[in-house]
Amino acid sequence: MEKFKTLTSLAAPLDRTNVDTDQIIPKQFLKRIERTGYGEFLFFDWRQTSDGNPVVDFVLNDPRFKSAQILIAGKNFGCGSSREHAAWALSDYGFRVVIAPTFADIFFSNAGKNGIVLVRLSEEQVEELLKNAETIPGYQLTVSLEEQTVSDNRGSKASFEIDPFRKFCLLEGLDDIGLTLRHAAALDAYETQHDSAGWLKAK
């Protein structure tokens, strides 16, 4: 998992509430066993019409936001099923940060484990960021995980809260496997001792 400290990027506005995980990554794309390759299917049903043509006014089809790594959305983002594929799709597409007033609990956990920083701001603050991203060409935000702040170059700055353990994991780039491997020496020693004890008992 890639470390996250500070990111400055274009911000893409997704002015919708209750964005559920089936909208983030529809169920027909859950057959893959890898964590990669989901980005092209992110918000699939919103990005194209039923006959396969791109929806011109959808944010991910707008060339202004093509390189955005920050997504701004409405409240209750990531609700619905617990599929971790939603976090995989956002990450694979290139999003490192999602800003919203609230997130679904399971999605919040899944996103953090996949290197995505979820920033909770007030509805008023999010509405301002959405408006700026929609109306100001090339609008960028800087997200500092170390300082726990979101700022722009127009004087706007907001602070956010994050669980200290999740912050540590994101700063160090540690997913569940990475956390376990930090104790590799102790685990190896235990296994060696356990195997030796089993061999002696067998004798």
Q: Render the chain in DSSP notation, one character per residue.
A: ----SEEEEEEEEE--SS-BHHHHS-GGGTT--SSSS-GGGTTHHHHB-TTS-B-TTSGGG-GGGTT--EEEE-SSBTBSS--THHHHHHHHHT--EEEES-B-HHHHHHHHHTTPEEEE--HHHHHHHHHHHHHSTT-EEEEETTTTEEE-TTS-EEE----HHHHHHHHHT--HHHHHHTTHHHHHHHHHHHHHHHHHHH-
Whether residues 65 and 138 fall in one domain: yes
18 falls within a domain: yes
Whether residues 46 and 20 fall in one domain: yes
For a pLDDT cut of 70, what percent of the chain falls above it? Answer: 86
Boundaries of domain holding 126: 6-172
Q: What is the structure's pLDDT at 195? A: 59
Whether residues 17 and 103 fall in one domain: yes
Q: CATH number for the domain including 150?
A: 3.20.19.10
Whether residues 53 and 148 fall in one domain: yes
Whether residues 66 and 83 fall in one domain: yes
For a pLDDT cut of 90, what percent of the chain falls above it? Answer: 79
